[in-house]
Amino acid sequence: MLEAVQDALSYIRKHYQETPEIGIILGTGLGRLGENIQADKTLAYNFIPHFPISTVESHFGRLIFGTFGGKKVVAMQGRFHYYEGYSMQEITFPVRVMKMLGIHTLIVSNASGGLNLSYKNGDLVVIDDHINLQGTNPLIGPNESKFGPRFPDMSRPYDPTLIDKALEIAKEANIRIHKGVYVGVTGPNLETRAEYRYLERIGGDIVGMSTVPEVLVARHMNLRVFAISVVTDVGDPDNLHPVSLDDVIEVANEAEPRISHIVSELIPFL
């Protein structure tokens, strides 16, 4: 893994020499956030050694280097998922590369299904904690001590100071937002009625198919983490309707300006 990361770093450094401070992962329907970055350089994943290729149609598949909110950033416009057939180590490989490039904070966005029935489509949720139901973990296997400890602490995986600041920013802008618990599942199917009931009863507010692996690796490498989600469909088990990818993307795209505002106001605070 360390050799693979060094290969990717060597390639990137040939094309971009500055040191980013913040890494951003843009999720389903939220790739247009990348348009708000003043880009200095973009690199397609397929040219970077050992990088997976995003197979989800709504994900672009490139790294964007530039300035956002007055800070140097590197953004993943397109992420990877376990359901695409990649290993957990492959999914999280870019996070390790971004850390080695110099970032100190990781910002993650995603689209999710609502478990908390007080939420509405289009609501934003700052993630305060998560439940890993993906059945595996990217930290399984030999531990590379240069990355982090064998048994990383996960008592506060999401930075409480950044959570409070984001909630304050949203309140000042009159943006409807919640603080909640994210349940990570494998997908790619959406949940059954019984699964929605179960996930809500074990403490979940939203459910999705990403984020948890990246956060585990980020915390393993001692990165500060902030994550925000847009609720694209509410899973009311007593009134469940079919949901398509087009529906998810439409709601996520509508929410993009509000997420962009919060992130752009949060970044100068970092």
Please state, in angstroms and as integers, the Cα–Cα distance from residue 131 to each residue in 115, 188, 203, 234, 259, following that order.
13, 18, 8, 18, 23
Assign 178 to helix, strand or coil. strand
Please state, in angstroms and as integers, the Cα–Cα distance from residue 57 to each residue in 27, 114, 121, 215, following that order.
12, 23, 22, 23
Q: pTM of the entire structure?
A: 0.95
User: What six digits make up the tokens of 177?
Assistant: 């937002």
The CATH architecture one would assign to domain 2-269 is 3-Layer(aba) Sandwich (3.40)
Residue 135 is inside which H or E element, if any?
A: none
Check residue 245 and give its pLDDT: 85
Q: Which residue has the tokens 């531990």?
A: 143
Q: Which residue has the tokens 């790294």?
A: 63
Check residue 53 and give its pLDDT: 82
Check residue 56 and give its pLDDT: 63
Which positions ≥6 away from 102 have C-beta within 8 Å?
Answer: 19, 20, 21
How far is Cα 156 from Cα 77, in angstroms, rounded to an integer? 26
39: exposed, middle or buried (Cβ count in 10 Å: 0-12, 13-18, 19+): middle
Assign 260 to helix, strand or coil. helix
Check residue 106 and give its pLDDT: 98
Main-chain phi, psi angles of 106, to 5 degrees: -115, 125
Angle at 77 between CA 72 and CA 81, to 5 degrees: 125
Nearest to 114 by CA among 104, 103, 124, 105: 124
With left for phi above 0 and alpha for psi between -120 and 50, is residue 164 left, alpha or beta?
alpha
Residues (pLDDT < 50) of the chain are none
Give strand pairing partners of 225: 106
How far is Cα 34 from Cα 154, in angstroms, rounded to an integer? 29
How far is Cα 14 from Cα 61, in angstroms, rounded to an integer? 19
Q: Where are the domains of the chain?
A: 2-269
Q: Is the peptide bond before 188 cis (omega within 30 degrees of 0)?
A: yes
Q: Which residue has the tokens 């305060």?
A: 128
